[in-house]
């Protein structure tokens, strides 16, 4: 590993609106997956720091004149200022994310540098429009008022693959609702959180409303079960989601779980992949395959199988693999050596189970450092094989033949997961019919991505609850009815 002089050192944690000394001298040292250089160091929060952060969030929430009690337009104004401050730092945040997790910089600028401000503005607008109290006539003759009150102190646990975007699908609705938060980033991506919280501070987000505690999974588990927490928002692996869900089930604590996926792309016989190459790559290999909803099982009609396979092989084989910070890079490295070893073991397994590699499968010869793997396409894969069943979280696609559309849909639905999915064809009515029959939280037509205005989430082992859209705001609100209230 290479250490340079250009590392970023942070010595304090942001708790209660202040930069406070951490309880211990433990540190987290993020590493660039492109260069294997140490990028910096930040304090690692421990249980005592979590106690302080939860206490600060609790005090801010319980303050009789505090954030939760503010008029919605006052909260919305702060959120919009926060969006302005994030925009000023957008390029820096994108660079920090890209250098820590290997996301191609062109994507990081839009998603990690740009999306958080969009999310804040969307939810600021929504809370202004919705307000928090509605009046109903009452069926039994007396009027009621239904209040959408903030759920309380939120623990937000975020993964490394989209550290800002996935934080803000929690932060923006939670702030709009009037909640206060403790945010726990993943140890792989801690530096961007500092730029984010500096933006919050500069925007005048009140003390204690946002607290940030970089730490690993044990401390994350402690936060999830903390008595001062009212709601948990989690994005990460299905395995961790099950454990967090079990804790929250025991505590009867509301929880939103955004977990893993193994999404399907169904190619209809009239799909025109060459003209949709950019959309196809985005849907199936986004962020070096380290995206929960990527469509990595590709179902192609048998009578055109070899033609589609050639097209996919050409598209994937021509992608530029390189340093995440190079604007020309389309596929960056995997986040860590461990993650690459995991992906390589799946590639070996795919071959052992009879899959045929048509492109990729190795470490790129032109890169002598960094955790790179070539984007890889497997042909002749059975939907029962390991690489078609388990989430690989890397740039590995499995192309599976089908005979009838019913068979394709049945195979797409034959998965433990149900997060994303896509249908590719020129007859969009026919594609829409197929999309309706796929059992997942979201499906795209000739495209796959989320939209902040509509709900996002999974079924089966892909999660519980929804983020984004008005549904994502409701996830941070408790409903209270006041009866006989004119
Ligand atoms: P991970 O589950 O290992 O970690 C995610 C976060 O949870 C990290 O901050 C980690 O420190 C913390 N954590 C882990 N175990 C915990 C526990 N028991 N209690 C509390 N906190 C815990 O996942 P990862 O490797 O960082 O991310 C990759 C996974 O996330 C993939 O499975 C991917 O599909 C999933 N993901 C899902 C979505 C979605 O929206 N559905 C989005 C992105 C990533």
pLDDT tens digits along 407-427: 999 999 999 999 999 999 999
Indicate whether 265 pLDDT > 80. yes
Q: Is any ligand 1 atom within 6 A of the Cβ of residue 61?
A: no
Mean of pLDDT over the chain: 97
Q: Is any ligand 1 atom within 6 A of the Cβ of residue 236?
A: yes
Supply 87's token pair.
């925009």
Supply 459's token pair.
């079924």
Of 412, 152, 396, 409, the C-alpha closest to 294 is 396
CATH 3.40.309.10 residue ranges for the chain: 263-451
Supply 484's token pair.
């006989």
**Which atom of ligand 1 lies nearest, measured to the CA of 185?**
9
Of 379, 313, 317, 376, the C-alpha closest to 346 is 376
228 φ/ψ angles, rounded to the nearest 5 degrees: -85, 0
When pLDDT is cut at 50, 70 and 90, the band that residue 3 belongs to is very low
Indicate whether 460 pLDDT > 50. yes
Map tokens 């590493």 to a residue: 31
User: What is residue 5's predicted lDDT score, i.e. its pLDDT?
Assistant: 52
DSSP 191-245: HHHHHHHHHHHHHTPPTTTEEE----HHHHHHHHT-TT--EEEEES-HHHHHHHH
User: What is residue 400's predicted lDDT score, i.e. its pLDDT?
Assistant: 98
What is the rounded average pLDDT of the residues 43-47? 98
The answer to whether residues 125 and 60 touch, using CB atoms and an 8 Å cutoff, is no
Cα distances (Å, whole numbers) of residue 246 to 216, 256, 391, 420: 19, 12, 22, 24
Indicate whether 2 pLDDT > 90. no
Of 152, 142, 315, the C-alpha closest to 228 is 152
DSSP symbol at 321: B
| Cα angle, residue 99 at apex, residues 93 and 105 outer, rounded to 5° | 70
Distance from C-alpha of 289 to C-alpha of 392, rounded to nearest angstrom: 8
Q: Which of 165, 232, 237 to mutate to test the pocket of ligand 1 (most atoms within 8 A of CB)?
A: 237
User: What is residue 6's predicted lDDT score, i.e. its pLDDT?
Assistant: 76
Indicate whether 337 pLDDT > 50. yes
Ligand 1 center from residue 438 Cα (angstroms): 25
Looking at ligand 1, which residue's alpha carbon is closest to its atom 13? Answer: 217
Looking at ligand 1, which residue's alpha carbon is closest to its atom 37? Answer: 259
Ligand 1 center from residue 299 Cα (angstroms): 28
Q: Is any ligand 1 atom within 6 A of the Cβ of residue 283?
A: no
The answer to whether residues 409 and 440 touch, using CB atoms and an 8 Å cutoff, is no
Indicate whether 218 pLDDT > 90. yes
Q: Is any ligand 1 atom within 6 A of the Cβ of residue 260?
A: yes
What is the rounded average pLDDT of the residues 212-220? 98
Strand bridging mode 263-267 / 210-212? unpaired
Which one of 3.40.605.10, 3.40.50.740, 3.20.20.20, 1.10.10.10 gives the CATH number of domain 2-259+461-483? 3.40.605.10
Which residues make beta-bridge pairs with 15?
18
Neighbours of 302 (CB within 10 A): 12
CATH 3.40.605.10 residue ranges for the chain: 2-259+461-483
Supply 352's token pair.
């052992």
Q: Which of 236, 392, 461 to mutate to test the pocket of ligand 1 (most atoms within 8 A of CB)?
A: 236
Q: Give the pLDDT confidence of 171-209 residue by residue, as tens digits.
A: 999 999 999 999 999 999 999 999 999 999 999 999 999
Indicate whether 1 pLDDT > 90. no
The answer to whether residues 297 and 265 touch, using CB atoms and an 8 Å cutoff, is yes
When pLDDT is cut at 50, 70 and 90, the band that residue 4 belongs to is low
Ligand 1 center from residue 64 Cα (angstroms): 35
The answer to whether residues 75 and 68 touch, using CB atoms and an 8 Å cutoff, is no
Q: Is any ligand 1 atom within 6 A of the Cβ of residue 419?
A: yes
Supply 401's token pair.
């033949």
Distance from C-alpha of 74 to C-alpha of 72, rounded to nearest angstrom: 5
DSSP 64-80: TTSGGGS-HHHHHHHHH
Supply 205's token pair.
């987000």
The answer to whether residues 315 and 285 touch, using CB atoms and an 8 Å cutoff, is no
Assign a CATH topology to domain 263-451: Aldehyde Dehydrogenase; Chain A, domain 2 (3.40.309)
- At 265 the three-state DSSP class reads strand
When pLDDT is cut at 50, 70 and 90, the band that residue 320 belongs to is very high
User: What is residue 472's predicted lDDT score, i.e. its pLDDT?
Assistant: 98
Q: Is any ligand 1 atom within 6 A of the Cβ of residue 186?
A: yes
Map tokens 């209230």 to a residue: 485
Catalytic residues: 258
């Amino acid at each position: 590993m290479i250490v340079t002089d250009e590392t970023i050192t942070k010595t304090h944690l942001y708790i209660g609106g202040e930069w406070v000394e951490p309880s211990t001298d433990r540190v987290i040292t993020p590493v660039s997956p492109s260069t294997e250089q140490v990028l910096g160091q930040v304090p690692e929060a421990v249980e005592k720091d979590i106690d302080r952060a939860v206490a600060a969030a609790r005090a801010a929430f319980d303050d009789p004149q505090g954030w939760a009690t503010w008029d919605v337009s006052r909260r919305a104004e702060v959120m919009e200022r926060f969006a302005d401050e994030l925009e000023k730092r957008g390029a820096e945040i994108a660079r920090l994310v890209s250098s820590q997790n290997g996301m191609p910089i062109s994507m990081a600028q839009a998603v990690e540098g740009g999306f958080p401000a969009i999310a804040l503005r969307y939810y600021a607008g929504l809370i202004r429009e919705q307000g928090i109290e509605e009046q109903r006539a009452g069926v039994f003759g007396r009027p009621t008022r239904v209040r959408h009150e903030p759920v309380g102190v939120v623990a937000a646990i975020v993964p490394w693959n989209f550290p800002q975007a996935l934080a803000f699908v929690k932060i923006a609705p939670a702030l709009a609702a009037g909640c206060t938060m403790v945010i726990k980033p993943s140890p792989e991506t801690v530096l961007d959180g500092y730029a984010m919280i500096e933006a919050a501070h500069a925007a005048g987000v009140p003390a204690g409303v946002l607290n940030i505690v970089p730490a690993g999974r044990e401390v994350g588990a402690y936060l999830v079960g903390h008595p001062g927490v009212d709601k948990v928002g989690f994005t990460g692996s299905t395995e961790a989601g099950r454990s967090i869900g079990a804790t929250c089930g025991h505590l009867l604590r509301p929880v939103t779980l955004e977990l893993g996926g193994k999404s399907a792309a169904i190619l209809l016989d009239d799909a025109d992949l060459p003209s949709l190459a950019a959309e196809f790559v985005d849907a199936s290999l986004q962020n070096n395959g380290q995206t929960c909803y990527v469509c990595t099982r590709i179902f192609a009609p048998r009578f055109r199988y070899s033609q589609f396979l050639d097209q996919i092989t050409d598209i994937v084989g021509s992608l530029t693999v390189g340093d995440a910070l190079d604007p020309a890079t389309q596929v960056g490295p995997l986040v860590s050596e461990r993650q690459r070893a995991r992906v390589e073991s799946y590639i070996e397994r795919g071959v052992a189970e009879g899959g045929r590699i048509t492109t990729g499968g190795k470490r790129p010869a032109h890169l002598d450092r960094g955790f790179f793997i070539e984007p890889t396409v497997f042909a002749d894969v059975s939907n029962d094989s390991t690489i078609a069943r388990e989430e690989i979280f890397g740039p590995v696609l499995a192309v599976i033949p089908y005979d009838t559309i019913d068979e394709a849909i049945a195979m797409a639905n034959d998965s433990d997961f149900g997060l994303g999915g896509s249908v590719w064809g020129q007859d969009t009515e026919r594609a829409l019919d197929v999309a309706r029959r796929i059992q997942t939280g979201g499906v795209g037509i000739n495209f796959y991505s989320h939209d902040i205005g509509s709900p996002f989430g999974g079924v089966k082992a892909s999660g519980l609850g929804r983020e984004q859209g008005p549904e994502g705001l409701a996830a941070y609100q408790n409903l209270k009815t006041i009866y006989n209230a004119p």
